[in-house]
Copies of this chain bind each other. A is one copy, B any other.
Amino acid sequence: MTAPFRHIAIIGLGLLGGAIGLAVAEMLPSTTTSGYDLAPETRARARERRLASHIAETAAEAVAEADLVIFCVPPGAMGAAAAEVASALPPRAVVSDVGSCKASVAEALAAALPAHNPALILPAHPVAGTEHSGPDAGFAHLFRGRWCILTPPDSADAAQVERLAAFWRALGAMTEVMEAAHHDLVLAVTSHLPHLIAYTIVGTASDLEAVTQSEVIKYSAGGFRDFTRIAASDPTMWRDVFLANKDAVLEMLQRFTEDLTALQRAIRVEDGGALFTHFERTRAIRRGIIAMGQDDARPDFGRGDH
């Protein structure tokens, strides 16, 4: 296969930017990468880990030769990062990103790059990640078997959309195209709401007077630890996600709260039948996730008990 792109600029060298650099080096060895991060210490660490073929000292330098530029910064920083490269951006370069909300990012990129061909601005979102962040967090196989959702505008160049999709498939991802607004709704429930709830419950637990933090930690194997994993995710990125996808998140939160209130009432009035019925139907979704290869069926994910 000919590599879809010749030279990829990665702006932002945290978990996702670093993982893209390492994945390209392993899976598309003929493609050159140049990386840039606003933080000098991240650039230094990126050089040591070889997250890109070349780590540039300015964003403009990083994009100068690129035929694909991927912004890997928190949603709230997309506009500023794009503005920084605007004057140096090659006119035929495809512009993309990895942000968790797509409508707001598409708007920010378009506003920051008014001179760029809008048919080449193709937002995307690889649904992959871990609770770790920063230049030490990425690894080459992060995208393997995961979905990458492309949300091209109606005016997008179809050949370029396919070229970007081929790039993600080369890194091991499966690709899907959808409307930005629909993406934001889907991710509000599969990702943003779970994170908000995990952050909330971990906060609730640490504020208790009658139960010590050490007790919470010791007995976390009863379920709590699954929440702490996602509540350890990057705070800056998640602040931006909730602000950028505010409407969809508030809508999902409203539904969640209604459902929780119904279960709370069932507990209060001791309606065991209602609880059982609800608990039983949630198993089917778990089975679907295992069947689609998006999780591991082993007890405890092989957390070391075997």
Question: Could you list 27 examples of A-B contacts with CB < 8 Å?
Answer: A131-B286, A147-B218, A149-B219, A187-B219, A190-B224, A191-B219, A200-B256, A202-B286, A203-B282, A206-B282, A207-B255, A207-B259, A216-B285, A220-B289, A220-B294, A223-B230, A226-B226, A228-B282, A229-B286, A229-B295, A231-B282, A232-B283, A232-B287, A235-B280, A239-B275, A257-B260, A296-B303
Which of A47-55, A61-69, A107-115, A137-145 lies at the binding interface?
A: A137-145
Q: Which residue of B lies closest to A270 (CB)?
A: B243
Smallest Cβ distance from A295 to chain B, in angstroms? 5
Taken residue by residue from 196 to 234, chain A's Cβ proximity to chain B (1 for < 8 Å, 0 otherwise) reads as 111111111111101101111111111111111111110
Given the contacts A185-B210, A255-B204, A289-B220, A227 and B299 also touching, CB distance less than 8 Å: no
Residues from chain B with a CB closer than 8 A to the CB of A285 are 202, 205-206, 213, 216-217, 228, 231
Residues of B near A29 (CB, < 8 A) are none
Question: Which of the candidate stretches A81-89, A159-167, A246-254 sits at the interface with the other chain?
Answer: A246-254
In whole angstroms, what is the CA distance A147 to B225 when docked? 14
Residues in chain A within 8 A of chain B (CB atoms): 76, 100, 127-132, 137, 139, 141-142, 144-147, 149, 176, 182, 185-187, 189-208, 210-211, 213-233, 235-236, 238-240, 242-243, 246, 249-250, 252-253, 255-257, 259-260, 263-264, 267-268, 270, 272, 275-276, 278-289, 292, 294-296, 299-306
B residues within 8 A CB of A231?
A: 279, 282-283, 285-286
The oligomer's copy count stands at 2
Q: Does the CB pair B221–A226 fall under 8 Å? A: no
Q: When the two chains form their complex, are residues A282 and B226 in contact, meaning their CB atoms are under 8 A apart? A: no
Q: Which residues of B contact A243 (CB under 8 A)?
A: 267, 270, 272, 275
**Which of B186, B205, B239, B259 has a CB less than 8 Å from the CB of A279?**
B239
Alpha-carbon distance A196/B279, docked complex (angstroms): 9
Contact A275/B217 with A205-B285, A281-B203 known, Cβ cut-off 8 Å: no
